[in-house]
Structures are given as C-alpha cells and as structure tokens.
Amino acid sequence: MQRFKDKYALITGGTNGMGFATARQFIHEGGKVIITGRSAETVNNAVYRLGTNASGIVSNAGNMKDVLLLQEQVKQYSDSIDVLFVNAGYGKFASVEATDEALFDELFNTLVKGPFFTVQQILPLMKKGSTIVFNTSMVTGMGMQNFAVYSAAKSAVQSFIKTFAAEFTEKGILG
C-alpha cells in the first residue's frame, strides 16, 4: 500500500513507543518521516532501524531553544510537512501535596508549551490538505489520584485541538 507516497511526516518523540510505531507504519505505506528525540544516540538508533526513508533531529519538546529551531532543522530534509504527529512527552505523577514547581513546570513545558510552539514552528511548512495529530490521554475526563498536573496538561492539549481546528480550517489544515 502506497497511500503516503511522496508524503512527509514529522513525528516528535519518534524514537520509541507510539511515535516509532507510527513512523514505521508511515514508511511501510510509502511515506518519509522525520523523527525527533532527546538524545543523538536514540535518534540515530531509531533512524537506523527505520531505514532510508527516515531522518532524525535531536530536539527536546520541553526545551524552547530546541523547539524554536525545529522549522529550520526540518527544512534540511523537506520544504513541506504533510502530517505533523505531536507525540513527544511522558508522564510523571505525584499527589497534589508532593508536586513542586519544578515538576509542574517540567510537565507543562513538555506537554503544553512544546506542542503549541511545535505547531507554530511547523505550520508555515504545512499546505492545504495536511494534517496535525496530537497524542493526548483519556485521563482528561477522569479524576485520578496523582494525575493532577499530567491531566491538566493533556486537557490543555485537547483545548488546543479544538482551537487549532477552528483556526486552521480556512488554511485547509486538518486537526
């Protein structure tokens, strides 16, 4: 199946888990991928395992310096992105009493600021018919112990999804 022939996907957090599996499937269906990850070793290893239709960028979604360089780094491989999969992130969990400002900021930088500014950086490379996909979580509709900050961050992403869908409709970019 070649439904992604001549298409480029940028997959943040593409070195393992869902991101890596998505990259592998996109390539299997004829596409090319650019993955990001936090370390050169994991990025290089993932690109090697994915093969010749994969490229990699060392970029930490929780580091604004990295995120703000993403557009220029992506342009080294492609002038346009057809699919943006905003997947980078992880969970850290603590009770309200045990949550400190450092944990709060770490999660919001990675799970809220990173996705927002990733979209902002890549949007100029997206054309009519391109798509933005976010990795979010079912915890946003539940109240779970030790998930206050993580759930709030993922809820913010769900709000972005709705806002971006409304804002990008005129551009023909699907969310």
Q: Which residues does the annotation mark as catalytic?
A: 150
* Backbone angles phi and psi of 54, in degrees to 5: -120, 145
Contact in structure between 134 and 153 (CB atoms under 8 Å): no
Spell out the SS3 assignment of 32-89.
Answer: EEEEEECCHHHHHHHHHHHCCCEEEEECCCCCHHHHHHHHHHHHCCCCCCCEEEECCC
Choose among 74, 55, 78, 75: nearest CA to 46: 55
Contact in structure between 63 and 37 (CB atoms under 8 Å): no
Q: How many CA atoms lie within 13 Å of 17's alpha carbon, on the beta-carbon side?
A: 11
**CA 129, CA 113: separation in Å to the nearest integer?**
25
β-pairing, 8-11 vs 32-37, is: parallel
